Amino acid sequence: MALKFQMRIRKNILTLRLDGDLDQSCIGKLKEKVANVMEKYQIRYLILNFDKLSFMDSTGIGFIIGRYAEVKKKNGMVFICSMNRMVERIFNLSGLSKICFVAKTENDALGYLEVA
Amino acid sequence: MDSLIKNNEVRLEILSKIENVVFARAVSVSFLVNINPTVSFINEFKTVISEAVTNAIVHGYENRTNKYVYITISYDDDFVYLEVEDKGIGIENIEEAREPLFTTKLAEERAGLGFTIMEVFTDSMEIASKVGVGTKLSFKKRYQSGESND
């Protein structure tokens, strides 16, 4: 299954919804589009919504680390929400839980940022 | 590998194009339907084959798209076996490559977790590699058939 993605921008918050399989075959296009938007809108907070993400391998971990490095320069944060069990296992294995915030839903992450 | 002791086997030769990683995953899922695996078994196996074939293309062949990756999937009553082989550049230091977070391609945002994930998701992983000749990964993963899904 190919990867579909959708981006929503609100002030300096980018919400990225992924749908399908995240692997090396689709990462180039995704990275380019997301990096452009992050640069153009001076994104500081990135919310990754994995609700419809059916598969992810270490390519996805590399992608998250790369985006984390970008928002960190602006003292920003990365939120990951709605992970399925399998994606969560890879996520935990990678140690990313130490640098990213896990939220149950996209709204939880947005809510946190509104208050913060 | 002695195919006589196996219940079933499939061999694939795929061109080293990254989109074929998707195909390799799909083939593995279709083939393993025969043993009625659990959902988590299939998810883990898909991840292993994805990591291994991606490694062969990105590292073994350094993204050259005119080479072949050789994949063999088989099973007996207890284990599923996977071999992924490339005739690429080989790995200079296998111990180093196995280290979590070790990567030769940091600029390309490779996480350096491929081997760690493959090792965690299988019961055994063997790496045979020779510089300038290629790399062969061999995995064994135990399965239990007919379990309720997940």
What pLDDT digit, counting tens, does each position of B24-79 carry?
999 999 999 999 999 999 999 999 999 999 999 999 999 999 999 999 999 999 99
Cβ neighbours of residue A116 under 8 Å, at least 6 residues apart?
none
- Is B25 an annotated catalytic residue? no
What pLDDT digit, counting tens, does each position of A2-23 carry?
899 999 999 999 999 999 999 9
Q: Does B13 touch chain A (CB under 8 A)?
A: no
Q: Spell out which chain A residues touch chain B, with contact meaning CB-CB distance below 8 angstroms.
A: 1-2, 21, 23-25, 31, 55, 57-59, 61-63, 65-66, 85-86, 90, 93-94
Residues A61 and B58: their CA atoms lie apart, in Å, by 16
Q: What's the first-to-final CA gap in chain A, in angstroms? A: 37
Q: In this complex, do B111 and A65 lie within 8 Å of one another by their Cβ atoms?
A: yes
Q: In this complex, do A24 and B21 lie within 8 Å of one another by their Cβ atoms?
A: yes
Reported pTM: 0.91
C-alpha count within 13 angstroms, C-beta hemisphere, residue A96? 29
A-B CB pairs within 8 A amount to 62
Residues B33 and B25: their CA atoms lie apart, in Å, by 13
CB A45 within 8 A of CB A70: no
Residue A97 DSSP code: G
Q: What pLDDT shows up at residue B149?
A: 47
Whether the per-residue pLDDT at B148 is higher than 60: the answer is no
- DSSP-based three-state secondary structure for A84: coil
Whether the per-residue pLDDT at B113 is higher than 90: the answer is no
Cα B143 to chain centroid distance, Å, stands at 16
Whether the per-residue pLDDT at B147 is higher than 60: the answer is no
Nearest residue, CB atoms, B58 vs list A24, A65, A85: A24
Q: What pLDDT shows up at residue B112?
A: 81
Local confidence band at B106 (pLDDT 50, 70, 90 cut-offs) = confident
Residue B36 DSSP code: -
Nearest residue, CB atoms, A25 vs list B19, B47, B111: B19
Low-confidence stretches of chain A (pLDDT beneath 50): none
Cβ neighbours of residue A22 under 8 Å, at least 6 residues apart?
A3, A30, A53, A55, A56, A57, A59, A60, A63
Local confidence band at B146 (pLDDT 50, 70, 90 cut-offs) = low
Segments of chain A assigned E as strands: 4-10, 13-22, 45-56, 77-81, 101-103
Mutate to test the interface with B, among A4, A26, A30, A58 (most CBs of B within 10 A): A58
Q: Provide ipTM, 2 decimals.
A: 0.87
Phi and psi at residue B44, in whole multiples of 5°? -70, -40
To which residue do tokens 């970008």 refer?
A: A70
CB B130 within 8 A of CB B90: yes
- Is B93 an annotated catalytic residue? no
Q: What pLDDT shows up at residue B97?
A: 87
